[in-house]
Amino acid sequence: MKIQDLIQQIKLKKSFLCIGLDPDVDKMPPHLLKSNNFIFEFNKQIIDATHHLCVAYKPNLAFYEAHGLEGYKALKDTILYLNEKYPEHFTIADAKRGDIGNTSKMYAKAFFEELNFDSITIAPYMGKDSVEPFLTFKNKHCILLALTSNAGSKDFQFLNTEETKTKLFEEVIQTSQTWQNADRLMYVVGATQTEHIQAVRKIIPESFLLVPGVGAQGGSLEEVCKYGLNKNIGLLINSSRGILYASNELNFAEAAAEKALAIQTKMESFL
């Protein structure tokens, strides 16, 4: 998908909501567990109930890989369903990949060609040659982990770099912007890190940020918007558990849609 198409969808729907498809058997409605391919069935009902309120879906690979072959099938069915029925949605494989070049090339083929996702999250720790194979794909996007939402982000991401005296997360953003096809880069910045979004925006005023951490992790949508919005919106704010598990009864999909609507309504007031 082209960035311009994503921006158009955001303006049309007055929403920059990304719904995280993190199916957790322990939290899913028990009645669904009886059906074959219940993970896909759960996703399908969530997608059908919420598609008009969001512009992106983000399956996190862990929730599929934990189920082996069945999980992979559910992931494949989910992305096929999205691409066929709701092709205007931006799709994110939250896989956090990145390896030596020839291995990254295979990851890129897996997610961009075989599964046909629009984007993938990438851990940038291995540097330029681990990310570049993903950046060769036209109209596909690489979302680098910059400043993550978890407490452990403090372990490394705030360390000062000796050469440039910037924090490691700032260095990741700055340096990656010099790579070929850097216009295909986006960055993960946690909603729990709002005091640092201004610093991020100073380096990349134009880039899209994928912002997880509202809802279950306690991040504030208002604060993220205050510091993160740019002239093209420039934000995809993710919520997974806060939407998916609003109810585990028969009405789970409608309950999820109500939560998504509440977020979309707030978003509309910022546009």
Asked if 217 touches ligand LLZGTKA7 (CB under 6 A), the answer is yes
Residue for token pair 């929730």: 63
Asked if 188 touches ligand LLZGTKA7 (CB under 6 A), the answer is yes
- Closest to ligand LLZGTKA7 by CB, 93 or 135: 93
CB within 8 Å of 33: residues ≥ 6 apart: 25
The single residue among 11, 67, 76, 241 that binds ligand LLZGTKA7, judged by CB under 6 A, is 241
Asked if 24 touches ligand LLZGTKA7 (CB under 6 A), the answer is no
Asked if 211 touches ligand LLZGTKA7 (CB under 6 A), the answer is no
Select which of 96, 105, 128, 266 is catalytic.
96
Asked if 194 touches ligand LLZGTKA7 (CB under 6 A), the answer is no
In whole angstroms, how close is the CB of 20 to ligand LLZGTKA7 at the nearest point? Answer: 5
Tell me the C-alpha distance between 265 and 181, whole Å. 35
> Which region, judged by CB under 6 A, interacts with ligand LLZGTKA7, from 43-51, 98-106, 234-242, 252-260?
234-242
Residue 227: Cβ-neighbour burial (10 angstroms; 0-12, 13-18, 19+): middle
Total chain residues near ligand LLZGTKA7 (CB under 6 A)? 19
- Beta strand 141-147 with 119-122: parallel, antiparallel or unpaired? parallel
Tell me the C-alpha distance between 120 and 55, whole Å. 16
Does 96 participate in catalysis according to the annotation?
yes
List the interface residues with ligand LLZGTKA7, window 78-97 (CB under 6 A).
Answer: 94
β-partners of residue 237 are 17, 211
Q: Any long-range contacts for 74-77 (C-beta under 8 Å, 24+ apart)? A: 74/23, 74/37, 74/39, 74/40, 74/43, 75/115, 76/115, 77/37, 77/40
- Provide the 3-class DSSP secondary structure of residue 118: coil
CB within 8 Å of 149: residues ≥ 6 apart: 190, 191, 192, 193, 212, 213, 217, 219
Site string for ligand LLZGTKA7, 45-64 (x = CB under 6 A): ---------------x----
> Which region, judged by CB under 6 A, interacts with ligand LLZGTKA7, from 23-31, 78-86, 125-133, 147-155?
147-155
Let me know: does 187 contact 146? Beta carbons within 8 Å.
Answer: yes
Active site residue ranges: 96
Residues forming contacts to ligand LLZGTKA7 in the complex (CB under 6 A) are 20, 22, 60, 94, 148-150, 188, 190, 212-213, 215-217, 238-242
